[in-house]
Structure 1
Amino acid sequence: MAELESEVQSEGKCDSIADRQSLFLNSENCKKYTCEPLVVISILDHHKRRTEKQTRVIGTLLGSEDLDGNILISNCFPLIHREEEDTVSVDSEFQKQMTALHHRMNSEERIVGWYATGDRIDYNCFEIHRTYDEECSNPVMLCVDTKLSGAKLSVKAYHAATISIDPAKPLVTRFESVPFALDASQAEKIGVDVSISGRPDDKDVFDSPSSIIPDIDSLQIALADLLRDVEDLDAYVDQVVKGTIPSDPSIGREIVHALSSIPHIDARTFDKMFANNVQDLLMVVYLSSLTQTQVAIANKIGHVL
Structure 2
Amino acid sequence: MAGTQKQDKTIVIAPLVLLSVLDHYKRSKIDSKERVVGVLLGDNTKSDKIVQITNSYAVPFKENNNKAGSDIWFVNQQYIEEMITMTKKINAKERIVGWYHTGTKLRSNDLQINNSIFTKYVKDPILCNININNLRSLGSSGTSFKASDLEEFAEFDSNIPIKSYVCVEDVKEDGSVIEKNFQYLPSIIEAEEAEEIGVEHLLRNVKNSGKSELSKRLKTQLDSLQTLSYKLNGIQEYLELVIKGTLPANHQILGKLQDIFNLLPDLSPEINNKANSLSRAITMNTNDQMLMIHITQLVKAIIAFDDLIENKIANNNIKMKELKLSEDKKTEPETIKA
Q: State the TM-score, normalizing by the size of structure 2.
A: 0.53
Distance 2:206 2:105 in 1: 32
Deviates more, 1:44-53 or 1:219-228: 219-228
Cα deviations by residue, 1:181-204 (Å, 9 ceiling, x for unpaired):
11211222222233333258xx9x
**What is the CA deviation profile of residues 118-142 of structure 1, one whole-angstrom value per residue up to 9, with x for unaligned ones?**
3111112112111212221111011
Measure, in 2, the Cα distance between the counterparts of 1:218 and 1:76: 33
Give 1:159 deviation, angstroms. 0.8
- Bigger mean CA deviation after superposition, 189-198 or 161-170: 161-170
Deviations 1:11-49 (A, max 9, x none): xxxxxxxxxxx310122x322221111111111100111
Q: Is the 8 A contact 1:58 1:78 kept in 2?
A: yes
For residues 221-267 of structure 1, give each alpha carbon's deviation from its aligned partner in whole angstroms, at most 9, with x where no partner exists.
234557999xxxxxxxxxxxxxxxxxxxxxxxxxx85984799xxxx
The percent identity for this pair of structures is: 22
More divergent stretch after superposition (29-38 vs 141-150): 141-150
Matched ranges for 1:158-197 at <5 A: 158-166=165-173, 168-197=175-204
- 2:131 equivalent in structure 1: 145
2:51 to 71, 75, 80: 71
Distance in 2 between residues matched to 1:167 and 1:148, nearest whole Å = 43
Counterpart of 1:105?
90
Q: TM-score, normalised by structure 1?
A: 0.58
Q: Quick one: which amino acid aligns to residue 39 of structure 1?
A: V
Residue 132 of structure 1 is matched in structure 2 by 118
Residue of structure 2 aligned with 1:81, choices 55, 58, 61: 61
Secondary structure of residue in 1 paired with 2:101? strand
In structure 2, C-alpha distance between the alignment counterparts of 1:34 and 1:77, rounded to whole Å:
17
Matches within 5 A, 1:200-219: 219=217
Q: Structure 1: where are the runs of 5+ without partners?
A: 1-21, 204-212, 230-255, 264-268, 273-278, 280-305
1:46 equivalent in alignment to 2:46: no
- Quick check: which has more Rg, 1 or 2? 2
SS in 1 for 2:133: coil
Find the aligned partners of 2:137 and 2:236 in 1 and give their Cα distance.
32
CA distance in 2, matches of 1:134, 1:179: 24
Evaluate the alpha carbon distance shift between residue 175 and residue 258 of structure 1 in structure 2; reply closer, same or farther with a 3 A threshold. Answer: farther
Partner residue in 1 for 2:106: 121
What's 2:161 paired with?
A: 154
Q: Which amino acid aligns with 1:36?
A: A
What is the DSSP-based 3-state SS (H/G/I as helix, E as strand, rest coil) of the residue aligned with 2:38?
strand
The Cα shift of 1:174 comes to 2.3
Q: What amino acid maps onto 2:44 in structure 1?
A: E
Secondary structure (helix, strand or coil) at the match of 1:30 reads coil
RMSD over aligned CA atoms reads 3.9
SS in 2 for 1:141: strand
> Which residue matches 1:91?
76
Q: Deviations over 1:57-116 (max 9, x none)?
A: 000111113432232111111010111131211111111111111112212111110011
- State the SS of the aligned residue for 2:219: helix
2:332 match: none
Which whole-Å CA distance do the structure 1 matches of 2:162 and 2:92 have between them? 27
Residues 202-224 of structure 1 deviation map (CA, whole Å, 9 limit, x = unaligned): x9xxxxxxxxx98x876522345
Deviations along 1:253-298, one digit per CA (max 9) or x if unpaired, are: xxx85984799xxxxx9xx9xxxxxx9xxxxxxxxxxxxxxxxxxx
Q: 1:33 to 1:101 in 2, by over 3 A?
A: same
Aligned ranges 1:279-298 → 2 under 5 Å: none
Relative to structure 1, the CA distance from residue 150 to residue 188 in structure 2 (aligned partners, 3 Å threshold; closer, same or farther) is closer
Alpha-carbon distance change, 36 to 52 in structure 1, aligned in 2, over 3 angstroms: closer
**1:61 pairs with 2:43:** no
Give 3-state SS (helix, strand or coil) of 2:122's partner. Answer: coil
Alignment map for 1:236-255 (pairs within 5 Å): none
Q: CA deviation at 1:52?
A: 3.1
- Note if contact 1:24-1:167 (Cα within 8 Å) is conserved in structure 2: no
